[in-house]
Chain A
Amino acid sequence: MKNESLFEALSARARSETPPSVDVAGRVIAILNAEQSRIEQLTEKPLLWLAAASSAFAVSAVVIAIMVYNASTGPLYEISQAISWVVQ
């Protein structure tokens, strides 16, 4: 028998083989759930960073505002205003 014919005959025989039974449903769902939470974390992270950045900006804006307010109403500011008026 030619090698090729033998190959074909064996292939036909191999087709009737029964593969081992598997049950992957539980593990697939577990992997997908883990993947889902990872994706959720990834999508939540930019929002967290945005929130942190805007809070930092707001805090620094408030600090600067207080400083400017204090400076503009302080006695030193009054004196400097008076001096500049006299100089003029």
Chain B
Amino acid sequence: MVLSILPGRIVSLRAERLLVELVYSLMDSEFVAEDRQKTNASLAAELHDVRLSRQGDSDAYTRLIKQHQSQVSRMLWRFSRDPLVHEELVQDVFVEAYLSLRSYREKAPFGHWLSRIATRIGYRYWKQIARRGETESFSLAEWDELPDKSPDEMDPGRAAEMLHRLLGQLRPRDRLVLTLRYLEGCDVAETARRTGWTKSLVKIQSLRARKRLKKLFAQAGKGLRE
């Protein structure tokens, strides 16, 4: 089969596909370049706002908060599902970030730096509630009642709520690493960056935390679901 896509030329289907792919890749590279330009411009604007904030410009810091609060809120929703506590934690992140703004070395995007602070604040909150012994109740029977074949059809909020309470049975350190690796979908490097741990420590900690999670299931006599 032959197709004509260019005037006066006959090309095979395979060649046409290759040509189309080439055209698309060229278009993509243009879009990528455009995106990169936009990203660079927004990063430069962000950096400018950071510098103004350091000099005490509250409008610049308000812009930074508005730009990053949804990202920080999403992260901290993993740490507390109580709307009041969650909002307070988000607030704490921006207050702490402002107070330590001088330590931001502008090597990574501001959002990355904030994510480290958010992780630290969330972890600190977990340690506080663990010290007070305020763990949320969780029954593994509830876990067993889950439909086996359809976690993909489950409401994301319900899934997150169940995992939040399940992980709440673990120690804050184990909970942190599992939350970042599984719920946040961070790889080892990203987990290490956000926790400030080394990559090997993240790997070891992940292994230990998974073992403890298995133990938790086993303790309840629910080793494996068939």
Name A's B-contacting residues (CB within 8 A).
1-4, 6-25, 27-29, 31-33, 35-36
Give bound CA distance, A3 to B58, whole Å: 49
**B residues 186-226 in Cβ contact with A at 8 Å:** 210, 213-214, 217, 222-225
Instruction: Specify the main secondary structure of chain B where it touches its partner.
Output: helix
Q: Is B126 part of the contact surface with A, judged by Cβ < 8 Å?
A: no
Residue contacts A-B, CB under 8 angstroms, 5 given: A10-B159, A17-B159, A20-B77, A32-B61, A33-B58
Q: Is B110 part of the contact surface with A, judged by Cβ < 8 Å?
A: no
Name B's A-contacting residues (CB within 8 A).
56, 58, 61-62, 65-66, 69-70, 73-74, 76-77, 83, 86-87, 90-91, 94-95, 98-99, 143, 146, 148-149, 151-152, 154, 156-157, 159-160, 162-163, 166, 182-185, 210, 213-214, 217, 222-225
Residues of A within 8 Å of B77, CB to CB, are: 17, 19-20
Cβ–Cβ contact B213 & A24, under 8 A: no
Given contact pairs A6-B151, A32-B95, A11 touches B163 in the complex (Cβ within 8 A): yes
Cβ–Cβ contact A11 & B183, under 8 A: yes
Cβ–Cβ contact A29 & B183, under 8 A: no
B98 to chain A, nearest CB (A): 6
Cβ–Cβ contact B159 & A19, under 8 A: no
